[in-house]
Structure 1
């Protein structure tokens, strides 16, 4: 099966580690592409390409300020990831609850011995 284009959805876009690093940088607020490139140690064209992908899937937004384009995190774009991960969070919470019950039962059994 052919792999989907990186711009097709949020999951494909964030599969790239440098794009995830960009999202982490943008949590602190708006940044120009030159600053993103400098922080990540990549070229400005490389940073621009990653930012374009993130913008196209709705994870970042941009605005012009003079001659610069500033990029900012668009947290609403992370909703599909949050919802998907949430299913696993429920799984892990249930697993930990079962483990806790087992440990408590083992402790009770040890006290009775």
Structure 2
């Protein structure tokens, strides 16, 4: 039961981070964007950090079985990888132009 709760809460948190935060933090008037990207980046990274901390706390204190600890550790590693990737993308260390060109190429065949 706890394993299902851990999975559900983490899934909901991901939706909140990547759909809810951009929707709340972006203010537009027509084609003019009023809110800043750094605020959005800070909110997303804060959400990832909160998820990491909560999962670490659950893994350390709340998870009693090996299955629950394994699930928490998977989520911790996933959030850590997501945080590193998002930070690198925010700092323009990595770009996804190759993905855009691949998707446009595939779209051309359809």
Q: With the length of structure 2 as denominator, give the TM-score of the two structures.
A: 0.26
Query: Greater strand percent: which structure?
Result: 1
Structure 1 or 2, whichever has the larger Rg, is 1
Higher helix share: 2
TM-score computed with the length of structure 1 as normaliser: 0.25
